[in-house]
Amino acid sequence: MKGTRWRRVPWVSLSCLSLCLLPHVVTGHTTPLPVTSASSASTVSSGSPLKTETSGASLLPYGAGAGDLEFVRRAVDFASPLFRPAAGFPLGSSLRDALYFTDNGQIIFPESDYQIFSYPNPLPTGFTGWDPVALVAPFWDDADFSTGQGTIFYQEYETLYGEHSLPVLQAESWIRKITNNGGFKARWTLKVTWVNAHAYPAQWTLGSNTYQAILSTDGSRSYALFLYQSGGMQWDVAQRSGNLVLMGFSSGDGYFENSPLMSQPVWEKYRPDRFLNSSSGLRGLQFYRLHREERPNYRLKCLQWLKSQPRWPSWGWNQASCPCSWQQGRWDLRFQPVSIGLWGLSSRQLCSFTSWRGGVCCSYGPWGEFS
């Protein structure tokens, strides 16, 4: 991974025609919540109906007034500190421990804390099953905040125990509608908003981009929402001939998806706020399922179990509590597996008889989950 570094390409001069036709940039640090209506119906990729209007999707509220934190470095490339979801983040077939965002429109899942890079230039072939880096890319291209223009806001929402937050509720609403899964309940969400980001080199390029990425997981399933401010994606295409933007994601273990815009002409790729995705029926919104398959999240189960337990010293000193998972119990020498005949792997038990008050037996499902 350390050897995968892409060089910048020379900047191409802006033509007079493109300068005259360049639209105005839309600014501002807060936007209203997305509003949907039943004016039209379309079908998402999963086959579920979604009723929405065909106008542009609005970004979730962002900025200091929305409780966000600001992170920006007046440098050509930079990366944020690491985020560490307590229950991990499902990506592809893995449960990732950490992630960070960069100035270049990416959210990256590093293999270790020592592999923190910003990767300024996108992969020319798009995402494939052989990508060395696991990342989510709402707008991967070479940005430049070094001249003092633009900034990045972010906010992390931990809702492990059912806490309520308006932006999380809005994200859950989008996910439930698009996936036709009314039971999705986010346990961790990250919102990152790139505001008035300029292309490299900022002192010679015109136009800026404002867009937002929302990552949300319930511990077993994970999704990404990309929202592009209507009229706010203004990088000049004539200056990007050497750097073609990339949108989508790659899990780093063979699971990936490229944005539908990747098959469109270059001038359309740089205006994702205008693109009408026939799956969602909304302009400026892209949606991705990031998990390859659903798996039980034992970290989350342990955290929720711990929350439900009485605090010391109300526990009996000689009482053994059930391990959170089958594997954890096999590591606990107080417990031994017990044969339960015809049940087989559909239900396994671990028992402990170390307490003078009697034994404790714990039952586990086929995935090793405590039941």
pLDDT in tens, 83-136: 999 999 999 999 999 999 999 999 999 999 999 999 999 999 999 989 999 999
Mean pLDDT of 185-214: 96
> For position 319, what pLDDT does the model report?
60
pLDDT at 46 over 70: no
- Please give the share of the chain, as a percent, with pLDDT higher than 70: 77
The confidence score (pLDDT) of residue 45 equals 33
- pLDDT, mean of residues 296-305: 90
Q: Average pLDDT for residues 34-62, to the nearest whole number?
A: 49
| pLDDT tens-digit series, residues 55-80 | 678 999 999 999 999 999 999 999 99
pLDDT in tens, 320-350: 778 888 888 888 888 888 765 544 445 688 8
Q: Residue 48: pLDDT above 60?
A: no
Q: Is residue 29 over pLDDT 80? A: no
Query: In 190-222, which positions are buried (b, 16+ CB within 10 angstroms) versus exposed (e)?
Result: bbbbbbbbbbbebeebbbbbbbbbbbbbbbbbb
pLDDT for residue 135: 98
Which whole number is the average pLDDT over 132-155? 97
Strand partners, 83: 99
Strand 358-364 with 348-355, pairing: antiparallel
- Residue 24 has a pLDDT of 33
Percent pLDDT > 90 in the chain is 58
What would the pLDDT profile of 253-264 be if each residue is shown by its tens digit?
Answer: 999 999 999 999
Give me the pLDDT at residue 88, please.
Answer: 97
Task: Report the pLDDT value the prediction gives residue 335, as an integer from 0 to 100.
Answer: 86
Beta-sheet pairing, 208-217 with 222-233: antiparallel
Total-model pTM: 0.75
The pLDDT of residue 338: 78
Average per-residue pLDDT for the chain: 82
The predicted pLDDT at position 1 comes to: 40
Cα 201 to Cα 11, 13, 25, 270, 369: the distances in Å are 7, 11, 18, 17, 52
pLDDT at position 54 is: 58
Residue 52 has pLDDT above 50, yes or no: no
Cβ density class 318-348: b for 16+ within 10 Å, e for less: eebebbbbbebbeeeeebeeeeeeeeeeeeb
For residue 21, report the phi and psi dihedrals to the nearest 5 degrees: -90, 0
Q: Report the pLDDT value the prediction gives residue 12, as an integer from 0 to 100.
A: 36
pLDDT reported for residue 13? 36
Token readout for 320 is: 């053994």
List the structure tokens of 272.
């994702």
Q: What pLDDT sits at residue 311?
A: 64
Does residue 182 surpass a pLDDT of 80? yes
Average pLDDT over residues 21-48: 34
Question: Does residue 34 register a pLDDT over 80?
Answer: no
Count CA atoms closer than 13 A to 47's CA, side-chain side.
Answer: 0
